[in-house]
Amino acid sequence: MSTNEPNEPNADQAGVQPGEAHAELVTEGDKPEAQAAPETGADKKPEAPPPDYREIRIQTLERALAEREATLHSYIRAHKKAEADFEAYKQRLERDRERELVAEKAKFVERLLDVDDNLERTLSAAKKAGGDPALLTGIEMVHRQFVERLTELGLERMDPTGQPFDPSSMEALGMVAVDDPAKNGTVVVTLRTGYRLGEREIRPALVQVGRFFS
């Protein structure tokens, strides 16, 4: 007698869908990786603002203007320096010209000093010889006018009689004994008048200096 074995129900008979049966066989390790979550607004990096071409243009113009101002100031400094150098050159030329004029005038005046010396000697000799008073008056007048013309040329006459001896402007020609101690070292006789033209000494005075002997 044959025994009828119960038939196992298939998937369709058990009420299970074919897809569901396959899904149950998939393990956790076989599951696909989860997709990355989309970035939220807090995670996004802020985008750089677009360049401000107007501000860039202004900065470029400011740099160019600063460079031009620096160049202009350098030109102004160079111009002022050139003006100062030229003014110093003019003043130096003027001083050189004045020195040359004084030197030329000194040469001319120095030749006239011999005439002054001759007039003085003539007048002194005429007075000692007891000459004609009218002649003496005439010689004195000529000599006085001659000295005035020399003064107009800037010549300064130096008669240091009674003054302390100064070797820078006088030339001593011997010593003279004096009785007054106050005259010791002073000029007691002027043998030849000295002359100065401005700051330039034309001729030193020729003098005799007093010497007191106790």
Q: What is the pLDDT of residue 27?
A: 47
Contact 155, 109 (CB under 8 A): yes
9 vs 16: CA distance, rounded Å: 11
- What's the pLDDT at 43? 58
**pLDDT > 70 in the chain, percent:** 79
Domain extent listing, the chain: 156-214
Provide φ and ψ at 158, rounded to 5°.
Answer: -120, 110
Q: How confident is the model at residue 76 (pLDDT cuts 50, 70, 90)?
A: very high
CB of 208 within 8 A of CB of 189?
Answer: yes
Query: Given this model, what pLDDT does residue 147 score?
Result: 87
Confidence of residue 81 (pLDDT cuts 50, 70, 90): very high
57 or 10, higher pLDDT: 57
- The region of weakest confidence among 12-21, 65-74, 136-145, 155-164 is 12-21
In this prediction, residue 41 carries a pLDDT of 52
What does the CA dihedral 113, 118, 123, 129 come to, rounded to 10 degrees? 160
pLDDT tens string 92-122? 999 999 888 888 888 888 888 888 888 888 8
Q: Is it true that domain 156-214 has CATH number 2.30.22.10? A: yes
